[in-house]
Amino acid sequence: MAPAETKALLFDVFGTTVDWRGGIIRAGRELEQRRGSPAPEGVDWAALADAWRAEYRPSMERVMRGELPWTNLDGLHRASLEGLLPRFGLAGLGAEEREFLVGAWHRLDPWPDVLEGLRRLRRRYIVAPLSNGNVALLTNMARRAGLPWDLILSAEWVRRYKPDPATYLLLPRLFSFDPKQVMMVAAHPDDLLGARRAGLRTAFVPRPLEFGPEGTAPPPEGPFDVVAGDFVDLAERLGAPAASG
């Protein structure tokens, strides 16, 4: 059950709200079709997606340790892609093709329960992403997918990446809410533990397909206030009404 005083829900995006792996694979195949010349043995786009995502955390840590100046996620994605292309036989990609792949992170699809769940939750709570994705990325994604956010919250606003407490405290500070009145929703225990350290409530939603059909998603184990099957189930558990006027 939701604490009665919950006022806002913050959602992790990559993996929790949208399927980054499927979206990157799809973009890779679109790129091959656009080129009209698939690589001789074909490109393993699933492996490229996994390798690209594996650079995500280390690249943000370089920023947080001060080894890189502030760089938003588009910039980090761009830099890490450069390092990966030769390994996948793609060193010959032109600048426009590289930008097409970097932009694929703006064009990810939500999991099937997301739109209904968010629409319901929004009737009762302020709903916002709280993502390491940059503001333009999250805005473009929301416009394309129809994600009904009330506002776009991003690590970019505070120039600190999750799990820095400044990210989780952004909404409580802007709205003068107690952190306990805000709940972080994620498929990743480390994100929820960061939110919990900042005083927020937490909801775990498993995404068993985040890392592909053979991948391993984290189990719903941890000191979470709520564990829900998906966003629609979360709406049920938090008392957010089904459709009406």
> What is the pairing mode between strands 226-227 and 201-204?
parallel
Residues 87-126 that bind its own copies (CB under 8 A): 126
Phi, psi of 230, rounded to the nearest 5 degrees: -160, -170
Which range binds its own copies by CB under 8 A, 112-120, 172-180, 216-224, 231-239?
A: 172-180
Closest among 100, 141, 107 to 11, alpha carbons compared: 141
How many whole angstroms from its chain centre is CA 55? 15
The least distance separating its own copies from the CB of residue 132, rounded to whole angstroms, comes to 15
Q: Which is nearer to its own copies, 25 or 142 (CB)?
A: 142
Burial grade of 92 (CB within 10 A; 0-12, 13-18, 19 or more): exposed
Q: Does 157 bind its own copies (CB under 8 A)?
A: yes
> What is the pairing mode between strands 226-227 and 153-154?
unpaired
Q: Does 135 bind its own copies (CB under 8 A)?
A: yes
- Sorted by sequence, the CB contacts under 8 Å of residue 55 that are 6+ apart come out as 76, 80, 83, 84
Q: Which is nearer to its own copies, 175 or 219 (CB)?
A: 175
Choosing from 176, 216, 243, 244, the residue that interacts with its own copies (CB under 8 A) is 176
Q: Which is nearer to its own copies, 5 or 175 (CB)?
A: 175
The least distance separating its own copies from the CB of residue 101, rounded to whole angstroms, comes to 17
**What three-state secondary structure class fits 78?**
helix
Q: Does 155 bind its own copies (CB under 8 A)?
A: no
Which range binds its own copies by CB under 8 A, 50-58, 145-153, 192-200, 207-215?
A: 145-153
Helices then strands, each counted (H, E), the chain: 12, 6
Which range binds its own copies by CB under 8 A, 19-27, 107-115, 169-177, 210-218?
A: 169-177
CB 114 within 8 A of CB 231: yes
Choosing from 136, 209, 217, 227, the residue that interacts with its own copies (CB under 8 A) is 136
Which residues in this chain contact its own copies in the complex, by CB under 8 A? 126, 134-136, 138-139, 142-143, 150-152, 156-157, 174-176
